[in-house]
Amino acid sequence: MTEVERRAFADRAEFLGDPDFVKVPVKTLVSDNYLAQRMKDYLPNSAGSSTATKAGIIKESEETTHISIVDNEGNAVAVTTTLNGSYGSRTVVAGAGFILNNEMDDFSVKPGVPNMYGAVGNEKNAIAPHKRMLSSMTPTIVLKNNKPYLVVGTPGGTTIPTSVFQTIVNVIEFGMNAEDAVNKPKFHHQWLPDEVFVERNFDAKVKAQLESIGYKVTTRGAIGRTELIQISGKKIVAIGDKRGDDAAEGW
Ligand code: DON
């Protein structure tokens, strides 16, 4: 109980204040996952230390967002925009109201050294003046008979092209409706690490089959938050991914 109190007070010092003035992450602080995480380093047979015990880490989400739009003239727009990591470079442009990104992480700092999303590269993606870093962002418009058919994109770092690819294949090759194409479990491989990452609700039988033929399969959190619009003549179906707080609206 002493060790629980130690950690609770470390969190109080870091996160708590009048909620009319500051955002207190109450939901996370009382969640089973967070509390289990907090007690992970608890050793029943030795006293903890307040120097070693810091406040818990409450993860801010990465800062990329996607929007898919279609208007009644048939124009379509797919936009993905990114700050890259949490709060980008954490620098607000005074008076302008936006935060600077930390996109430099999308360059390869050294051949073979992974960036924040585990992506590796070589000199071709090395930092140089006036050069643009590689991006995984994949805002996509699929045309059918030269007219927009699917408008799609997502955040998710290196899982972005995966989510877009699988969503499109789900519709075009597997004949899924738009909702299933977005929401059914996804899986991801990015060369390195040599693992297939699957979402928690990925089919257990398929996972076992993959393992039996030699794949390393690792369960992870959500893959993407895909926004899909499907246009079939006058019918427009818009899906906001259930993985996030996404929404679809029509006027
Ligand atoms: O351009 C890229 O590939 C990265 N900056 C995207 C980062 C991202 O999607 C983070 N959000 N989930």
| pLDDT tens digits for range 27-56 | 999 999 899 999 999 999 999 999 999 999
pLDDT value, residue 60: 67
Q: Is the CB of 105 under 6 A from ligand 1?
A: no
For residue 47, how far is its CA from the centre of ligand 1 (angstroms)?
42
Average pLDDT over residues 67-85: 96
Q: Is the CB of 190 under 6 A from ligand 1?
A: no
- Plot region of 167 (φ>0 → left; ψ -120 to 50 → alpha; else → beta): alpha
pLDDT tens for residues 156-193? 999 999 999 999 999 999 999 999 999 999 999 999 99
Please indicate whether residue 64 is annotated as part of the active site: yes
Q: Is the CB of 89 under 6 A from ligand 1?
A: no
Average pLDDT over residues 2-27: 94
Percent of the chain with pLDDT over 70: 99
Which residue among 53, 64, 82, 138 is the active-site one? 64
pLDDT tens for residues 90-119? 999 999 999 999 999 999 999 999 999 999
Q: Is the CB of 156 under 6 A from ligand 1?
A: yes
Q: Can you give the pTM of this predicted structure?
A: 0.81
Q: How confident is the model at residue 210 (pLDDT cuts 50, 70, 90)?
A: very high
